[in-house]
Amino acid sequence: MERALLVGFISCSSCGILLSIPLLYLDSRKSKSAPTTASDSRLERYLAVIFGLMQIGLLAAVDVAAAESLHKSQQVRWMEAVCSSTLQIYAGVNSARVLRRLLVLPWATPLVYVVFTVSIVLNFVYLTIEGGSSDYWFFFNLAVPSLLSSTISSWLAYQHKIARGDNPKFLRLLILLAISNAISALSQFFGAMIIYRSVLTGREITSKTHYVILLTCTSTHLLCPLVFCVSGARRSMKRAWTQMRSRHFTDTTTEGAIRLDSLGEAGSIHDESI
């Protein structure tokens, strides 16, 4: 594999780790805005933490595989398996996060985790033992959850706009999620079509082209976590600013009350002396 591709995988997986850590914290917290909804159950929060840790572990494994390939100037055998598994868990975690945040379906999120767990294990075992590469069906199947997430976000944005909701920030979040997931789905569809075309023409796809497709699909999957990270950071900053202003207002009010009391006592003492 070329050096530029290995550096690209290292950069992409490192950015993924940086995005996954704050999202792991946000996913583990109980929502204060809707504490009784089914999408905020304890099971879903535990699953989000478990799969978030798995995602960070696979991203770190991609870093190790790419760094070892750079050091040895030869691609390690398990590079393909760990890259494709990382792409799978990205698609699963992103879809589960969208379903958990935007829908109230108690069975949807656990079902997504179960399906992707089985597919990740089977694909990893196949690629490790057989030493093959992901075919076009792999990318076609991965495009489905991204397309589903984009459709759900678009539909909710449309419903929010029709209902004339008074939350423009939520509408902006829905639009960004729809766009980011649509980009991920398109990249996977194009990758699948490139591989399928090579199968139809009888030409074997090169290793470089295959890893370019993997890297492109993985990088586009960073867009959805980036949207959630920015949204969560803005909410946290707004909450901190509100608490700071509230504390400052309370301190100012208390100080003013103390001054008024002291002035009242001074006035009464002055009256008694007169």
What are the tens digits of pLDDT across the range 239-250? 666 666 666 555
Residue 72 has what pLDDT? 80
Q: Phi and psi of 2, rounded to 5°?
A: -70, 155
CA-closest candidate to residue 214, choices 58, 83, 30, 65: 83
Q: Given this model, what pLDDT does residue 100 score? A: 81
Backbone angles phi, psi at 34, to 5 degrees: -140, 70
- pLDDT of residue 136 exceeding 80, the answer is no
Task: For the chain, give every domain's residue range.
Answer: 3-240
- Asked if pLDDT for residue 131 goes beyond 90, the answer is no
Percentage of the chain surpassing pLDDT 70?
Answer: 76
Average pLDDT, rounded, for the chain: 79
pLDDT value of position 35:
39
What is the spatial distance between Cα 155 and Cα 205, in angstroms, rounded to a whole number? 37
Share of the chain above pLDDT 90, in %: 16
Which pLDDT score, from 0 to 100, does residue 47 have?
Answer: 86
CB atoms within 10 A of CB 193: 13
- Domain 3-240 listed as CATH 1.20.1070.10: yes
**pLDDT, mean of residues 214-239:** 83
